[in-house]
Amino acid sequence: MISGNTRAFYTFDAIESNIFSELISSLQTNDDNSFMDLINNNEEVSKRLNSEDLKGISSRSEISWDDATILWVLSSIRKADGSMESLDKGRAREKLGRYPSADGSPLTYLEDYLIQGDDSNLLSLLTKLQGCLSEDHLGHCRFEKGFGGLELRGWLSADEVATLRQELQKSPWGVSSHELYDGGVMEVVKHLMVILRSAHSRGWGIVFRRHA
C-alpha cells in the first residue's frame, strides 16, 4: 500500500490519562484553582515543571506555553532520561504512521470501512481517538495546535483503551465490501491492537498525534 503523495505522519503516544483529563477540564473552563491543585498535588507534574525551569508557579498565566503544549508536556509518559515511552517496538508505528487513506490516518480508514456490530460503541471510540481535540469537534484549536508544529488529534483514557481493545477482540464487526485495499482493515486492527495491548498492560491512556 504505497501512496504517491506525501501525507502527514501519525503516532499513538502514551499518556497519564487522569492528568490529561484534569488538565482539559481546568484549561477548558479557565479554572485556575483546579489547575494549581493538580500541579501542587501531583508529584510527577511538579517534577515535570521543575525540569522545565518552571518552579514556584502560582497560576496558569505564569506558564507561557499554549494549552496543547501543556497537555503534551505534563501528561506524556517519559523514561528516566526524559525520552518518550514507546507503545511498540517500531513496527506498528511504521505501519500505521502514514496510511493510504484520504488524510493519511489509519483511523480514517477504519471509520470508512469497518462495520461495527449491534450495541457496539467501537466506532465512537475510534472517532474520539481520531478527533475529539480538533477544532471541528471543540470549536477551537487550543488543544489541537501547539508550539513547534505539535498537533494533538484525540485521546482515550486508560479505561477507554481497555474497552476499545475488548471491542476489537470480542465484539462482532465486519469489513465493508467497498474496502479500498484488500485486507486493509485487518492490517490496521492488527497493529492497533499492539498499541492497545501495550497501553492497557501498563494502565496508560493514549493520545493520537499528527506530524505535518
With a cut of 80, say whether residue 3 has pLDDT above it.
no
- By the 10 Å C-beta count (0-12 exposed, 13-18 middle, 19+ buried), 187 is classed as middle
With a cut of 90, say whether residue 108 has pLDDT above it.
yes
Res 116: pLDDT: 94
With a cut of 70, say whether residue 106 has pLDDT above it.
yes
Res 1: pLDDT: 40
Q: Rounded to an integer, what is the distance from CA 12 to the centroid of its chain?
A: 6
In the Cβ-directed half-sphere of 22, how many Cα atoms lie within 13 Å?
A: 18
Helix axes 32-41, 17-28, angle to 10 degrees: 150
Say how many residues make up the chain. 212
Question: What pLDDT band is residue 89 in, cutting at 50, 70 and 90?
Answer: confident
Res 102: pLDDT: 82
pLDDT in tens, 153-168: 999 999 999 999 999 9
Res 90: pLDDT: 72
Res 7: pLDDT: 67
pLDDT in tens, 17-51: 999 999 999 999 888 999 999 988 988 888 889 88
CB contact at 8 A, 146 and 152: yes
Question: What pLDDT band is residue 171 in, cutting at 50, 70 and 90?
Answer: confident
- By the 10 Å C-beta count (0-12 exposed, 13-18 middle, 19+ buried), 3 is classed as exposed
Q: Where are the domains of the chain?
A: 9-14+84-211, 17-75
Residue of 211, 176, 5, 210 lying closest to 102 (CA atoms): 5
Q: What is the pTM of this model?
A: 0.91
Residue of 120, 101, 88 lying closest to 190 (CA atoms): 88
